[in-house]
Structure 1
Amino acid sequence: MNPNKHHVFALTAALVSCSASAVDTTMTQAGYTGLGITPNARLLDWGRFEFAYDNQLPGAQPSTHGSNYVAGFGMFPNFEFSGRLAANSNPDNCFVNVCHGVRDLSASGKFAIGIDARNRFRLGLGATDVGGAATNFRSYYGVLTFDAGSYEASAGLAKRSTSGGNRPRSPLDGPFASAAWQPLPWVRGQLEYTDGSSFAGVRLFAPKQWLPEGWSAYIGANLALNDTKFTERNWWSAGVSIPLYKVPSLPAAGAQAPAPALADAQKPLPVYEARTLPAPAAPTPNGGASVPAQRAAEPLPPAQPIGNERLEALAQALRAKGLEDISVGRMADGSIAIRANNATYNWNSADAIGAALGAVARELGDDRVAYRLVITQRQLPLVAVTGQADCLRQWIQGTNTCAGGELSTPGTMALDRLEEGANWVVSGLQPSWKTLRISLSPVLRTTVGTEVGVLDYSAGINVGFRQPLWPGADFEWRVQQELAHSNDFGSGGLLESRAIRNGTERLAFTQTVRVPLERWFAPGDDLAIRRWGLAAVTAQGTVGRVGNHFDGVYGALRWEPGDGRHRVNLQGGVFDNADYHAVPNEPKSARPLLLGYRYNVAPTRTYLEATGGQFMNNDRGLQLGVRQWFSDVAVQLYWRRTQVSSLTRSFAGIEFSIPIGPRKDMNPSELQLTGTPRFSHAVESLIGGSNNAVVTGRGVQPPTPTLEAMHNSDRASLLYFEDNIRRIRDAAR
């Protein structure tokens, strides 16, 4: 036998004898999961984000050389969404220099399902280059994939929307096919065919131990096997994939158990990972949600009296956990009343609930005594837990034989009534008005994929000083400073007027109150209060300067009845522009008036949102959005159409929202330094036009404090806390 053939045979036999590795999913240059050029019927896992780069624009004319950026999201269990930016040249301003080639910002989507019990056959339907001003690479396709573990084969049919000539077009047209083999976890080989062109490629994956848990990264090489006008002979690719639902551990938290093994076709759910804990129980008939229990509680003997020194120790334990405005006392029935304000667990109020319950269990868990815990935000009741202290401790330890507690929110009852008549032993420990809050937040303004440039930016920092005054009231001063910018945002640049403005961004007084409708319309009628959500109405008013140069007043109402499936909000204001003409499209006098609605699709943690009316810059219209939550990260797809002065514009975009800073901020004292509970940034494109010109100032929300921020980023419902029972228990440990 020829020695070279012998070596090839030996290598092939060695690879085949290795334990098979499933073919890894990667994004392609076109914005769908697949191999190099063609799609398959697989999807980005639900709750994952992937960024991919190619130094090639397949199908571009007159040159395919350039930069191709793709950001993909596993939005839903059977749907992926991606944004693509394809550009032959990155920095050129097409209004100054002639831009040759393409600069295309677009979106793509794919829907796929398994069609057999073993999930080896999958069927997918998708479209590329949807939206945007130009449609250079639009194609519609259907694909069938057979998955045999380390082998994968796909075949499908596609139809592109642009024809031949010298126009850019998608390489995906007519019948296409592909095959991949991944004999080892770190290498994948692939072959593809589409529209008369054949390609080969390889992907090399980083070892998992090199990366944070759940991440993956790869580099790849691609080769055209025949002469083709779609690509150059060879090019390279790279990508990184990140799970959006991973949450860092709280300080002093115990080690997490390893992730449980998954079945062959099973994927991890994109939720908070409390790995060894049971699922939350179903809601109780009276509108609360029981903490999971193995069996019903047994009859308990009368509660033993708890001395004042133990109640004082409990208050100190709550203080050590970073809570404030702490009150601990006794009710007439012998139960222990506990009230504490959260200003430290700003990523998620569920962590504050858990921290407080852990303190209660450690200090009172030796006795069979009832407790009533109310957690407040800005001193207004947010959520309550009632139960038995000894059962609570068992539940936290995972050895419970009785229910550890019951959750309630303002949508199901008036939480203040739980502690009416309490005899407080400790009252107002660690008062919030004695703490000055200092927050650090990034500020970012961008334009993406426009005739001005591929990416232009103005980046800076916002430093906020907030002084709580009395329940629900605070005074806030926020100052921002630009730190860096691209040329177009600089002095004399086309986007200079949109750059971050240095100086005072907000100087305002805000008062938030709960509107006691239950006292006015249904005093003492618990059934009516729960049915109509009369205790779930919150109002907020702001007066002062906001948005750098708008002076005026603002008001908002929020109603979230029942278990929180529905939420309605109304907001409006009157503002005068103290620096009129400084920013294009900003009015001399702003009169925003907006009505909003949100529906919570609880099984998938999806919010369906609608906002309509008159926006901050007096344009009138409607915005519709779908917001998907992955633990503390949110991704929203939205469409907006507004009109001003008979000129109507439509936009489509994606917003990415994350917390920045530690999961638990420093404990309050005279000063408290905090991070950013919610940093959001959107990329949108004008749709229905002939270009992607920079159009600003449409659909702007009033730049004021919001009620949603006070309500745990609109995650303060019974449905939400019930769904996060395991996170609450983790934080209690």
Structure 2
Amino acid sequence: MRVSRFFVVILWFCVLFAQITRAEENTLSFQGFSGLLNTPHGGVMEYGSATFMFSDQLAERGRDQYAYADNYILGIGFFPHFELTGRIAATNTHDNSFLPENAGETRDLSANIKVHAPFIPEDWFDLAAGIQDLGGASNYFDAKFVVASKTISDFRFSAGIGKSESHVGRMDGVFGGIEWMPLDWLRLMAEYDGADSNVGGQLQLPVTLGNFPIDIGLKVQLLTDAPKIRDKNFFGISLSIPLTKQRISREDPFENIRDSAMAHLGLENTQSERHDQNSGQDNAEIDQPKQKASEPSAIVQTEQSIAPETFGRPDSQDKMKMNDLFDPTNIGQSVPPMEDGSAAVLRLRTKQLGLVLIEYGFEGVEVGFNANSLYVVLENNVLNNNEIDVFGVVFAAVASSGIELDSLSVVLKNLDIPIIQVTAPLKRIQALIAPECIRLNERCAAVSEFERTMEVAYIDESAAFAAQRNITWVNLSTDSDVFWTPRVIFEPIISGYTATEYGVNDSTMGIRTYLGVPIWKGNELTAIWNTPIYHTNDFRNGRFKNQKMRAGLRNLYFNQTFKINPNIYSTLSAGKFLFDTLGWVSDSVWNFDEGHQRVRLRWTELYNDDDRVYKKRQSYVGQYRYYFPSLDSAVQVSYGTYLDEDRGYLLETLHHFGDTTFSLYFKKSDYKGVGVAITIPLSPRKAMKPWFFQARMVERWSYGLETVVGQDTNPIEVSFVRVPTPTYTIEKDMFNHDRLSPVYIRSHVLRIQDAATLWEAE
């Protein structure tokens, strides 16, 4: 049996140095769906988890036996009760299947889906249905099945029926299996797969490395009665991870429906009983009557009591006299005169707050106050993975500043354009980010109270703070605007073909460097360079040599964004695109229904002097997107004329797991295609602070696979439904990848709470 020594060493390392936790119950089978060895059970992968597996078992194409081969499987728990897996199967990873000596070898890219019945109570049984090798021109592993499972003590019994095109007869008829789980990390299994009986085992080692939980697994087929492979033992090595380390507030969307149905039938679902241990917490402190701003106890402290520790870091300016820190002539009439000097102390603390936020890395910082409220306006270029982290950091900074007013309003800008405003009572903010609330693994009562009292809205720039009278804006005596600070961003580029007859992976790789210079409000100059690093043989001097990554200046253009009203934005990008093409791209976005819905229009004209291509290409694409906060997912559909002058549509679903996004899409114009893509952050949660420049990795890096469907053949060098998208877009640069909306912020309060720890870490 071919188990690498390297894997054994890693396994023992994890045993010795990691904290063992509970193992994942629904692991992948050799066939790519969750199950035993070759058959499925009634469960699905855990929602929000991902598993990568390598196995060496393959049913050879056109032959009635299994053989050693390479299988690369990736499975995702996309939704509650739904899993999607992709599989690359290859007799040999590097052989060119067009050569005569390699004729008959298998190389295939396939997808599997499996759906668990959501309305059956968990203590009854599990029921699932699935399809193996969905779609595609060549279906080597096509199978459809329905399976039920019942767990009794340490045993899980499964039985199902399927229809399969497998030459070995797998899952073509009745199948079933038994699993025995005597220990959390050990599982023994026996199955009948419709043709053969198999016996095997699985070691599943759940560990925590640092604060990140992972599962490392080894699955082995020990015995089989298949006549041609009785002397062969197959194995699979797997790695399972959660797709986010942040706590998520989403619940099973089917749970309330199931509970209601059970109650209607007069039955009790014992598995659905849930108790909030924190619901009885004493809220007396945060529910106390608010003090009037004029009461001395609200803000009175002597100058000596404003210690550097108040803000969590030393600052030499804390030792300066109060009159040296601000200009007293700027004190507004909104602050009532106080004999004890509390108005001056409030101004001092507000100025210190602004300076500390600048020191943290925020730009364009403005701070002010009136008799009841504190106001913070800023621009963020350091917390780029998810900009709602800004609110958590500002909340923590204000809570530690000693400022005691009734409420806090935070306005977030991009390129000096105000985008969104969050307002909440300071008492609720302090309760939300209290350490005893953050440490809980469940929602504490303060979270619900904060959600109830928080106000979030797209901000009307022309009427910003118009409803708030007599605001005193504090002079910070420093320039922190965003303009003329170069931003250098690095992004790895991997482009190529996967699981074709030329090889399992043919790719061209390099680094794409972005230089963006903000010049004035809403304006940025963008330049992009390509630096090739590596090409596989077929890109270097083989079949794809004309498609390898091209070096040099790729794009150079201006971007100007206009804010029509709080919900409508438009950007015009004009200059040089794709090395030798001149043109412009217009991108307009309308967000409405608090961000649940969005309409987007893109209009492109490109000109090229090369006679071999069109001298003028036009593209008109409209898009509608709807966001589902309970699932943190979105569905969007696009229709129009695309870059290759083909007319068609694109249907896409986006699924967010913290800072990781998975997307599935179907597109149709001259061809039909399906694809999957993953987007992950490559930069740390907090990037380099802007200085004379700022350098960082790209905050969202994407990689995807797609294939043509609905054809007798599977062409790989076709281009259709392509949208020319500049690096600078409203969705990305104004709304942080479509996440700066009231509905998104309200549904991610736990993320804001978690971000408060970033301030404590500093």
TM-score range, shorter chain: 0.7 to 0.9
1:439-518 to 2 correspondence within 5 Å? Answer: 439-490=489-540, 492-516=541-565
- Provide the secondary structure at the position in 2 that maps to 1:592: strand
- Structure 1 distance, partners of 2:416, 2:278, is 31
The structural deviation recorded for 1:610 is 0.5
1:652-731 to 2 correspondence within 5 Å? Answer: 652-704=674-726, 705-710=728-733, 711-731=735-755
The structural deviation recorded for 1:277 is 9.3
Given the alignment of the two structures, is residue 375 of structure 1 paired with residue 399 of structure 2, yes or no?
A: no
Partner of 1:521: none
Partner of 2:107: 103
1:270-669 to 2 correspondence within 5 Å? Answer: 298-303=289-294, 305=335, 306-307=343-344, 308-330=347-369, 335-365=373-403, 367-397=404-434, 398=437, 406-410=454-458, 414=460, 417-420=463-466, 422-426=471-475, 429-490=479-540, 492-516=541-565, 535-577=566-608, 587-642=614-669, 648-669=670-691
Given the alignment of the two structures, is residue 178 of structure 1 paired with residue 177 of structure 2, yes or no?
A: yes
Partner of 1:65: 68
Q: 1:149 to 1:414 in 2, by over 3 A?
A: farther
Q: 1:653 to 1:226 in 2, by over 3 A?
A: same
TM-score, L = length of structure 1: 0.82
The structural deviation recorded for 1:176 is 0.5
1:215-226 to 2 correspondence within 5 Å? Answer: 215-226=214-225
Give the letter for the 2:103 counterpart: C
- Structure 2 distance, partners of 1:674, 1:362, is 29
- Structure 1 distance, partners of 2:288, 2:724, is 50
- Alignment gaps of 5+ in structure 2: 1-20, 248-268, 300-334, 336-342, 438-444, 758-762
Given the alignment of the two structures, is residue 193 of structure 1 paired with residue 242 of structure 2, yes or no?
A: no
Q: 1:596 to 1:116 in 2, by over 3 A?
A: closer
Greater shift, 628-637 or 98-107, is seen at 98-107
The structural deviation recorded for 1:403 is 5.5
- How well do the aligned residues superpose, as a CA RMSD in angstroms? 3.1
The structural deviation recorded for 1:120 is 5.1
Q: Is the 8 A contact 1:489 1:499 kept in 2?
A: yes
Given the alignment of the two structures, is residue 245 of structure 1 paired with residue 249 of structure 2, yes or no?
A: no
- Alignment gaps of 5+ in structure 1: 1-19, 163-167, 249-262, 269-274, 280-291, 517-534, 643-647
Q: 1:276 to 1:319 in 2, by over 3 A?
A: farther
1:31-110 to 2 correspondence within 5 Å? Answer: 31-58=32-59, 60-62=61-63, 64-97=67-100, 98-110=102-114
1:202-222 deviation digits (Å, cap 9, x = unpaired): 112235146863210112221
Q: 1:589 to 1:64 in 2, by over 3 A?
A: farther
Partner of 1:257: none
Q: 1:556 to 1:297 in 2, by over 3 A?
A: farther
1:21-73 deviation digits (Å, cap 9, x = unpaired): 87732112222100110000111100111111211213543463321221111
- Provide the secondary structure at the position in 2 that maps to 1:363: coil
Q: Is the 8 A contact 2:41 2:148 kept in 1?
A: yes
The structural deviation recorded for 1:414 is 2.1
The structural deviation recorded for 1:395 is 3.5
Give the letter for the 2:353 counterpart: L
The structural deviation recorded for 1:230 is 8.0
Q: Is the 8 A contact 2:246 2:751 kept in 1?
A: no
- Structure 2 distance, partners of 1:557, 1:24, is 46
- Provide the secondary structure at the position in 2 that maps to 1:721: helix
Greater shift, 619-628 or 304-313, is seen at 304-313
Q: Is the 8 A contact 1:627 1:637 kept in 2?
A: yes
The structural deviation recorded for 1:382 is 2.4
- Structure 1 distance, partners of 2:483, 2:634, is 35
- Structure 2 distance, partners of 1:29, 1:606, is 30
Q: Is the 8 A contact 2:383 2:687 kept in 1?
A: yes
Aligned length: 646
- Structure 2 distance, partners of 1:160, 1:448, is 25
- Structure 2 distance, partners of 1:562, 1:722, is 13
The structural deviation recorded for 1:123 is 0.5
Q: 1:208 to 1:482 in 2, by over 3 A?
A: same
- Structure 1 distance, partners of 2:47, 2:574, is 42
Greater shift, 356-365 or 629-638, is seen at 356-365
- Structure 2 distance, partners of 1:632, 1:477, is 26
- Structure 2 distance, partners of 1:618, 1:24, is 49
Q: 1:348 to 1:207 in 2, by over 3 A?
A: closer
The structural deviation recorded for 1:224 is 4.4
1:442-468 deviation digits (Å, cap 9, x = unpaired): 111021122222111111111211111
Give the letter for the 2:235 counterpart: W
Query: Percentage identity across aligned positions?
Result: 25
Runs of 4+ in 1 over 6 A off after TM superposition: 20-23, 263-268, 275-279, 292-295, 399-402
